Chains A and B, each alone.
Chain A
Amino acid sequence: MSQLPKPDAAGLRARYPDVFDRPAAARLAFPAMLLVAFAVFVFGLVDLDFSPARLVAGLHQLGWITMMMIPPNPGASLPAYLVAMGETLSIALLGTTLAAVFALPVSLLAARNIVPSGIFRFPVRRFFDSIRGIDQLIWALVWINVVGLGPFAGVLAIAVSDFGAFGKLFSEAIEGADKKQVEGIRASGGNALHEIRFGLLPQVLPVIAGQVLYFIESNTRSATIIGIVGAGGIGLQLAEQIRVLEWQKVSFLILMILVAVAAIDWISSRLRFAIIGRRAVA
């Protein structure tokens, strides 16, 4: 049996001082970071009123609630729940479509290859950012003040908050587009609108379609909760049933949401594959 040669420790040390004798600052940085992170965590626990007693009592309560949830049972309100689910899907579809339709022209203004001047681009980008900084539920609250309680407020809330997200994503897709087609159009005498229509759109539309589908999917999830503040859909039913402690109905509604989301996921991923091919999705 051959034996590996004994490593020459002293020689290695001399040759790689960076590895063996790191400065104290570099060696301590990571533990110090961990310590700070842990300290903030403990402070958070204390500040947010965490106590073992509350945790145990809460978990006990939670276990009891879970017991009460079985078996899921909609009672006599199944038709009402199905209608609410339809409302939720409608909110997601309409809201996302509206957002995409409005975001496409505006996102052109935020793309570097369309508007080279930073002075114009910058405010548009910040505008998108501030819209995205506000949660969908907050937009729902605002729209309820405008069009009243009901699913329409939910549609508008999703439309506005996705407008911000789409604006950013679309403008990035446009910036990522190949310049050559656009130059080709210009060389053959097309004007700026021709360049966008025939040089840019054919490149970015598949990307955009994929993103819109993905958002319809994720908005199905958001649309389920938007009802909690009164903007229609299944969230309204869910919040109500939780408030009156009808746990069997609650678990049924949660199951309904899970099934609906899974179904939409499946449909939209099939559609996405059909539009942009399997490779581009991954």
Chain B
Amino acid sequence: MTIAVPILPSSQLAALNEAYRRAVARKRLRMTIATAVFVAALAIAAIGAEVNLRTLFTQFGNFVSYFDRILTLESGARVWTDIVEWFWGWRKWLVLLGETLLISYVGTLVGAILAFGLNFFAAENTSPARWLRFAVKRFLEFCRTVPGIVFALIFVIAFGLGPMAGVMAIAIHSTGALGKLFSEIVENADMKPIEGLRATGAGWTSCMRFAVLPQVSAGFAGYTLLRFEINVREASVMGFVGAGGIGQELLVAVRKFYYSDVSAILLLIIVTVFMIDIGTGWIRGRLFGKEARA
């Protein structure tokens, strides 16, 4: 038994083949142009960023040996052979780590409260007035676009050196970031409960409290926890500009070439960030069930 495969007459086939060939050629051309533009942009960027491959290759040994050096004690032994000597400053460092965590905690909380107060005005479906929405949105945008550490630099001058500047910087940056995320959650909320409440004669505040809040509070908590994770990382470098936390100690260790201290502090930071990630992941899992953890 043979199966006849229907083949179009060659004139029709040629037209289809031609169309296919042209479509592929056009795609290839677009791809080539895009690649060329991208490579050109890279080349310009390489000149702009003073990329010097020779420095990289001659100095790359330095990068590897830097890790070798930070893992070596002053006595020449490997750091893990003498933990006590490696973590000689653990008391001081743990206090500073605690300060870092507190900075991010207080900063996140203040930021979340401010974002909570502002986001209902920034969401399209709940904002009472158009001009108010516009103003609040621009304000939040400003808060999250200016990097936290720039705020910290300015606040260090206004509030003086110390963790207070770090807290304020993190709080403002978190307000901007969380305000946007919160208002997006509110925009996705179901409007029917609000209509129901309004039908009973409730005012704006009651609508927010009894119709919107129960829908969005879980999402708010989730994003706040996520922000806390990010802020722990951010707070670890606030000390670079004098705004408190462990960053100051790390900066001194790097600048003064206290090699083993650098690795000890870095390790402490990594472990802390890990533990915070795992901890907040666990809390999120407890709060909203497994599926919200991803």
Contact = CB atoms under 8 A, between A and B. Distances in A.
A150 B146 CA distance: 22
Interface stretch (A71-79, A117-125, A139-147, A186-194): A139-147
A17 to B, nearest CB: 23
A48 B167 contact: yes
A146 B66 contact: yes
A54 B102 contact: no
Contacts of A40: 102, 105
B241 A228 contact: yes
A258 B270 contact: no
B149 A228 contact: yes
A147 B292 CA distance: 43
B55 A148 contact: yes
B123 interface: no
A130 interface: yes
B274 A133 contact: yes
A254 B142 CA distance: 10
B66 A49 contact: no
A258 B269 CA distance: 31
B218 interface: no
A281 interface: no
Contacts of A43: 102
A272 to B, nearest CB: 14
B150 to A, nearest CB: 6
Contacts of A135: 233-234, 236-237
B239 to A, nearest CB: 10
B142 A146 contact: no
A44 interface: yes
A151 interface: yes
Contacts of B270: 130, 133-134
A221 B234 CA distance: 14
Given A87-B49, A134-B266, A147-B56, A254 B106 contact: no
Given A94-B49, A146-B63, A238 B56 contact: no
Given A137-B237, A258-B146, A58 B49 contact: no
A65 interface: yes
B240 A137 contact: yes
Interface in B66-109: 66, 99, 102-103, 105-106, 109
Given A48-B103, A48-B164, A152 B149 contact: no
B154 A65 contact: yes
A239 B59 contact: no
A94 B63 CA distance: 19
B56 A141 contact: no
B49 A48 contact: no
Interface string A72-100: 00000000000000110111011001000
A45 interface: yes
A43 B236 CA distance: 20
A124 to B, nearest CB: 16
Interface string B22-37: 0000000000000000
Contacts of A229: 240, 251
B202 to A, nearest CB: 18
A151 B158 contact: no
A258 B145 contact: yes
A171 interface: no
Given A47-B99, A49-B164, A50-B164, A151 B50 contact: yes
Q: Which 5 A-B pairs have the closest CB atoms?
A: A90-B48, A58-B159, A90-B45, A90-B49, A44-B106
8 contacts: A44-B102, A55-B164, A57-B159, A62-B155, A134-B269, A145-B254, A228-B240, A258-B142
Interface of B: 41-42, 44-52, 55-56, 59-60, 62-63, 66, 99, 102-103, 105-106, 109, 142, 145-147, 149-150, 153-155, 157-160, 162-164, 167-168, 233-234, 236-237, 240-241, 244, 250-251, 254, 266, 269-270, 273-274
Interface of A: 37, 40-41, 43-45, 47-50, 54-55, 57-59, 61-62, 65, 86-87, 89-91, 93-94, 97, 129-130, 133-135, 137-138, 141-143, 145-148, 150-152, 154-156, 221-222, 224-225, 228-229, 232, 238-239, 242, 245, 250, 254, 257-258, 261-262
Given A146-B66, A147-B52, A151-B48, 16 more contacts: A40-B102, A44-B102, A48-B102, A48-B103, A48-B163, A87-B49, A133-B233, A133-B274, A148-B55, A155-B51, A156-B56, A222-B147, A224-B150, A232-B49, A250-B154, A258-B146
